[in-house]
Amino acid sequence: MKDLNKHRIFWHSRRGMLELDLLLVPFVQDVFDDLTVKDQILYRDLLLLEDQDIYALLMGSSHSEHTKYAAITTKILAHNKDQR
């Protein structure tokens, strides 16, 4: 996943873990185009993590070195909250 092709990003957002799919797929469909390039790169890099790590970051239970993803996970969660 070297580029920021939205089609590729969309397919990499489909994780096969329902909890992640419900957060990531709508986010990439609705918000990705409006993100800054920096945030698009951060989102792309987030997708390189294992499903369990992404889930832990989104649920706030990760105490790892992945603090660089805090900004994008906040945006993902805010979008999900707005959709309810």
Q: What is the DSSP string of 26-60?
A: HHHHHTGGGS-HHHHHHHHHHTTS-HHHHHHHHHT
Q: What is the pLDDT of residue 84?
A: 72
Give the count of beta carbons closer than 10 Å to the beta carbon of residue 30.
12
Q: What is the pLDDT of residue 82?
A: 86
pLDDT at 79 over 90: yes
Task: Tell me the C-alpha distance between 65 and 7, whole Å.
Answer: 29
- Give the start-to-end residue ranges of the domains of the chain: 6-83
**Which CATH architecture fits 6-83?**
Orthogonal Bundle (1.10)
Q: Is 73 exposed, middle or buried (0-12, 13-18, 19+ CB in 10 A)?
A: buried
Tens-digit pLDDT profile for residues 7-60: 999 999 999 899 999 999 999 999 999 999 999 999 999 999 999 999 999 998
Query: Can you give the pLDDT at residue 2?
Result: 56
